[in-house]
Amino acid sequence: MGHLNDIGNAILDVVRAEEAGLIAVRRDLHAHPELSFQEVRTAGVVAAELARLGIACRTGVGGTGVIADIQGGRPGITLAIRGDMDALPIEERTGLPFASQNNGVMHACGHDVHTSTLLGVAAILKRLAPEMSGTVRLLFQPAEEVLGGARAMIAEGALDGVDMALGYHNHPDIPVGSFGAVQGATYAACDRFRLVVRGVSGHAAYPQTTVDPIVAAAHLITGLQTIVSREVGAIDSCVVTIGAIHAGTVHNIIPDSCELLGTVRTLTDSIRERAEQAVFRFCAGLETSFRTPCDLDWNPGVPPTLNAPHVLETSVAAIRRQLGDVFVAGEPSMGAEDFSLIASAVPSFVLRIGSGTPGRSDQLHNSGYQPDEACIALGATALARAALELMARYSNPR
Ligand code: NI
CA of 33 to the centre of ligand 1 (A): 13
CA of 65 to the centre of ligand 1 (A): 16
Among 11-25, 192-206, 356-370, the range scoring the smallest mean pLDDT is 356-370
pLDDT in tens, 268-317: 999 999 999 999 999 999 999 999 999 999 999 999 999 999 999 999 99
In 255-341, at which residue ranges do the beta strands (DSSP E only) sit? Answer: 257-266, 294-302, 305-307, 327-328, 333-336
Q: What is the mean pLDDT of residues 52-61?
A: 98
CA atoms within 13 A on the CB side of 55: 31
- Count the Cβ atoms, other than its own, within 10 Å of residue 398: 4
Decide which of 278 and 3 is more confident: 278
Pairing of strands 348-356, 164-175: parallel
CA of 142 to the centre of ligand 1 (A): 11
Collapsing DSSP to helix, strand or coil, 304 comes out as coil
- Residue 1 confidence (pLDDT) above 60: no
The whole-number pLDDT of residue 2 equals: 58
- Count the Cβ atoms, other than its own, within 10 Å of residue 60: 12
CA of 95 to the centre of ligand 1 (A): 21
Q: What is the mean pLDDT of residues 49-78?
A: 97
The whole-number pLDDT of residue 397 equals: 53
Q: What is the mean pLDDT of residues 81-93?
A: 97
CA of 360 to the centre of ligand 1 (A): 19
Q: What is the largest CA-CA distance in the chain?
A: 83
Give the C-alpha separation, 144 to 300, whole Å.
15
CA of 189 to the centre of ligand 1 (A): 15
In 85-237, at which residue ranges do the beta strands (DSSP E only) sit? Answer: 133-141, 164-175, 179-180, 184-198, 202-203
CA of 139 to the centre of ligand 1 (A): 15
Pairing of strands 294-302, 184-198: antiparallel
CA of 316 to the centre of ligand 1 (A): 22
Q: What is the mean pLDDT of residues 388-396?
A: 94
CA of 365 to the centre of ligand 1 (A): 8
- Residue 369 confidence (pLDDT) above 50: yes
Residues forming a β-bridge with 261: 194, 244
CA of 85 to the centre of ligand 1 (A): 9
Give the C-alpha separation, 79 to 117, whole Å.
17
Element (H, E) at 247: strand 238-247
Q: How many residues in the chain?
A: 398
pLDDT confidence bin for 67, thresholds 50/70/90: very high
- Residue 341 confidence (pLDDT) above 90: yes
- Residue 173 confidence (pLDDT) above 90: yes
Q: Which residues touch 317 (CB under 8 Å, ≥6 apart)? A: 389
Q: By the 8 A CB rule, do 214 and 331 touch?
A: no
CA of 53 to the centre of ligand 1 (A): 26
Architecture of the CATH domain 189-302: 2-Layer Sandwich (3.30)
CA of 335 to the centre of ligand 1 (A): 9
- Count the Cβ atoms, other than its own, within 10 Å of residue 204: 14
pLDDT in tens, 114-171: 999 999 999 999 999 999 999 999 999 999 999 999 999 999 999 999 999 999 999 9
The whole-number pLDDT of residue 375 equals: 98
Q: Which CATH superfamily is domain 4-187+304-395 in?
A: Zn peptidases (3.40.630.10)
User: 258-267: b or e for each residue (b if 16 or more CB lie within 10 Å)?
Assistant: bebebbbbbb
Domain chopping of the chain, boundaries: 4-187+304-395, 189-302
- Residue 244 confidence (pLDDT) above 50: yes
Element (H, E) at 82: strand 74-84
The whole-number pLDDT of residue 367 equals: 96
Give the C-alpha separation, 84 to 113, whole Å.
9
pLDDT confidence bin for 398, thresholds 50/70/90: very low
Q: What is the mean pLDDT of residues 196-209?
A: 98
User: 178-198: b or e for each residue (b if 16 or more CB lie within 10 Å)?
Assistant: bbbbbeebbbbbbbebebbbb
CA of 145 to the centre of ligand 1 (A): 7
CA of 138 to the centre of ligand 1 (A): 18
CA of 72 to the centre of ligand 1 (A): 30
- Residue 25 confidence (pLDDT) above 50: yes
Q: What mean pLDDT value characterizes the chain?
A: 97
What percent of the chain has pLDDT above 90? 96
Q: What is the mean pLDDT of residues 175-181?
A: 98
